[in-house]
Amino acid sequence: MRAVLLTGYGGYDQLQYRTDVPRPDPAPGEVLIQVGACGVNNTDVWTREGAYGATEQSGWQGSAFSFPRIQGADIVGRILAVGADVGADRLGERVMVNPTLYNVSGDGLFDATYLGSERDGGFAEWVCVPAENAHAVTSTLADHELASFMTSYLTAEHMLNRAALTAGETLLVTGASGGVGSALMQLAKIRGARMVAVIGRGKEAHLAALGVEAFIWRDEPDYAAALARQLPAGEVDVVADIVAGDKVPALLDLLAVGGRYVTAGAIASPMVTIDWRKLYLKHLTLLGATMGTQAETRQIVHYVASGQLKPLIAGIYPLEQLVQAQQAFKTRSHFGKLVITL
């Protein structure tokens, strides 16, 4: 089959497009999916660069990584074969894949692994996944549109659930023009929340169309003043941060008493210095979040099937142009999702 192999940590030269990769066979409890499309994510880039290790190169879990590896987590396609213990009635199903591989019973996330990281993913014509991770979907959206949702929106839904965002509250999102950021906006709107976006200049029109009420430029010297000019209260109930870096103290200042700060990324920098007194004097809650549960996956599929989520596509690339897709991703000049089609 055609596939792109990650052969080691490093630059784009570590991604090799091949046409002679053996097609996998489904093990018991698995299904074989003919891949229609697969989204590009930050995890793909950081894993290739070995950026998850604190002191040495490593994979997503910060541990040893096995090469070669087929990356790609946002898989959409059809089930073409099933392993033992999987009903034949699943053949032909159109599915969206939850890339989270749970290693314990239920939806345990603490020792979970990831498609495209600890086992082969969807930058290939075929992929095998656990049957319970392949969620049937009925939708008029094209494969490349469906492949824009799962990883980003599952991460975002889990963040909002961790922070317990409710109708009428104000949510501030960093990195709002990216995949997870724009997902947070759409999911917050469904919950009836008011939305504030921290973005680079020139991307506000896209977010205004999603219902964002206030904008703070990423290079704004005074976040509090910028927010106060647009929202009378000048405070937010929840910060959903996927950027981290030196702006974290300014974001903590924007939280109202009893506010919640949830994070699922550190694109700018994983090292942050804050005034610890802000936490206890304002009774703030700090929350970490990553991936999501099967129940949250089903919720995302429901939102997609019911038309409550809009696909935000920034670019479409054939499999043999995965390098170009990752190069475009690294510029962070796009709005929405970059997708590989097969």
Within-domain flag for 294: no
pTM given for the model: 0.92
Chain segment 309-325, per-residue pLDDT in tens: 999 999 999 999 999 99
Q: Both 115 and 161 in a single domain?
A: no
Report the alpha-carbon distance of residue 144 to residue 317 in Å, rounded. 10
Q: Both 204 and 123 in a single domain?
A: no
Q: Both 175 and 235 in a single domain?
A: yes
Q: Both 93 and 133 in a single domain?
A: yes
Q: Both 121 and 27 in a single domain?
A: yes
Within-domain flag for 169: yes
* CATH number for the domain harbouring residue 328: 3.90.180.10
Phi first, then psi: give them for residue 331, nearest 5 degrees.
-70, -25
- From 165, 144, 168, 149, select the one nearest 77 (Cα to Cα): 144
Quote the domain boundaries for residue 223. Answer: 152-288
Within-domain flag for 299: no
Within-domain flag for 293: no
Within-domain flag for 167: yes
For the chain, how many structural domains are there in total? 2
**Is the distance from CB of 125 to CB of 342 less than 8 angstroms?**
yes
Q: Both 119 and 181 in a single domain?
A: no
* CATH number for the domain harbouring residue 240: 3.40.50.720
Q: What is the pLDDT along the chain (342 residues), one digit of tens a residue?
A: 999 999 999 999 999 999 999 999 999 999 999 999 999 998 899 889 887 755 555 555 655 678 999 999 999 999 999 999 999 999 999 999 999 998 755 566 777 888 998 899 999 999 999 999 999 999 999 999 999 999 999 999 999 999 999 999 999 999 988 889 999 999 999 999 999 999 888 778 888 888 898 999 988 999 999 999 999 888 999 999 999 999 999 999 999 999 999 999 888 888 999 999 999 999 999 999 989 999 999 999 999 999 999 999 999 999 999 999 999 998 877 788 999 999
Q: Both 126 and 10 in a single domain?
A: yes
Beta strands in the chain (DSSP E): 3-6, 15-18, 30-39, 74-82, 94-97, 100-101, 113-114, 126-130, 134-136, 170-173, 194-199, 214-217, 236-241, 255-263, 285-288, 313-318, 337-341
Within-domain flag for 24: yes
pLDDT on residue 58: 58
Q: Both 214 and 160 in a single domain?
A: yes
* Cα angle 151, 35, 142; round to 5: 75
pLDDT on residue 66: 85
Within-domain flag for 305: no
| Strand-strand pairing, 94-97 and 134-136 | antiparallel
Chain segment 61-120, per-residue pLDDT in tens: 655 678 999 999 999 999 999 999 999 999 999 999 999 998 755 566 777 888 998 899
Chain segment 47-69, per-residue pLDDT in tens: 898 877 555 555 556 556 789 99
Q: Both 283 and 319 in a single domain?
A: no
Q: Both 185 and 278 in a single domain?
A: yes
Beta strands in 105-242 (DSSP E): 113-114, 126-130, 134-136, 170-173, 194-199, 214-217, 236-241
Percent of the chain with pLDDT over 90: 77
CA separation, residue 173 to residues 22, 213, 219, 256, 291 (Å): 42, 12, 15, 15, 17
pLDDT on residue 106: 54
Within-domain flag for 304: no
Q: Both 334 and 268 in a single domain?
A: no
Q: Both 57 and 162 in a single domain?
A: no
The C-alpha torsion from 313 through 317 and 323 to 329, rounded to 10°, is: -10
